[in-house]
Amino acid sequence: MEQFKEKVRKLREKKGWAQEDLAREIDVSLSTVQRWEGKGAKPIRHARRELKRLFQETGIDEDD
C-alpha cells in the first residue's frame, strides 16, 4: 500500500507542480508540504479535504 507521502508527491508531480505550487494552491506553508512528503506527517482535516478536492483523489481520506 502506498504511503501518504508518496501519494501526495506523485499527485503533485503529475500536475507538474513544485512543492511551492501545492502549498500556495491549498494555502499552507512550503515547510508543511515538505513535512508531508519528507517525514510523512499527516495534514490537518482542512488540508486533507483540500488535497482530496484538488486532486479528485478518493485515496486521500479526510478522517485519517
- Tell me the domain boundaries of the chain: 4-55
Per-residue model confidence as pLDDT tens digits over 14-60: 999 999 999 999 999 999 999 999 988 989 888 988 998 888 865 66
pLDDT in the model for residue 18:
97
Q: Is the pTM of this model over 0.85?
A: no
CA atoms of 20 and 31, how far apart (whole Å): 9
Helix (H, G, I), strand (E, B), or coil: what is residue 39?
A: coil
pLDDT in the model for residue 2:
72
Question: Is the distance from CB of 43 to CB of 51 less than 8 angstroms?
Answer: yes
1.10.260.40, 3.30.1490.190, 1.20.1250.20, 3.10.450.40: which CATH number matches 4-55?
A: 1.10.260.40
> Could you identify the residue written with the cell 479535504?
49
